[in-house]
Amino acid sequence: MPTSDPHTHVIDYRAAEQLLAAKDPRGAVKLLDSVIAAHPENTAARLLRARAFFAAAQLRPAELEFELVLEREPDNAFAHFALARTFERSGRPQQAKRHFRLAAALDPRPEYLRAARFDAGPQPDRGGNPDPGSTGD
């Protein structure tokens, strides 16, 4: 039964983080659906749901969520990086390259710089998780 209690949504968000960390991305998505239904403007919940979609290999929903986050926060380096990983895993290396480079330009973390491969040609498909332990903060 859905509830509008804000405390419940915070609990659901935290539980979804735990489920994702415990390798249950589908369970995390289920919890986050109600949080986002009640608070569609909550970018943190959308970013967490995008990560859960990615971990569940639901690449199109992950792509849509990461893009929505970037519409709201175009300077979110983690969202660019994660969207690039999603494109990479979907076999779209040119789109991935653009977002890897944006991530590296916004935040020169070593993993973002490596992924951007400014001095390299086409990138091989590496798949993998965009950064399972990070929320992009």
pLDDT digits (tens, 9 = 90+) for 68-84: 999 999 999 999 999 99
- Taking CA atoms, 60 is separated from 12, 43, 56, 77, in Å, by 24, 18, 11, 20
Q: How confident is the model over 47-59, as a mean pLDDT?
A: 98
Nearest to 88 by CA among 49, 50, 115: 115
Could you give the CA distance from residue 60 to residue 63 in angstroms, rounded to a whole number?
5
Split at pLDDT 50, 70, 90, the class of 133 is: very low
Residue written as token pair 């660019």: 80
Of 11-20, 43-52, 89-98, 117-126, least confident by mean pLDDT is 117-126
Q: Which three-class secondary structure state does DSSP give residue 130?
A: coil
User: Average pLDDT, whole number, for the chain?
Assistant: 89
Split at pLDDT 50, 70, 90, the class of 6 is: confident
Could you give the CA distance from residue 106 to residue 126 in angstroms, rounded to a whole number?
22
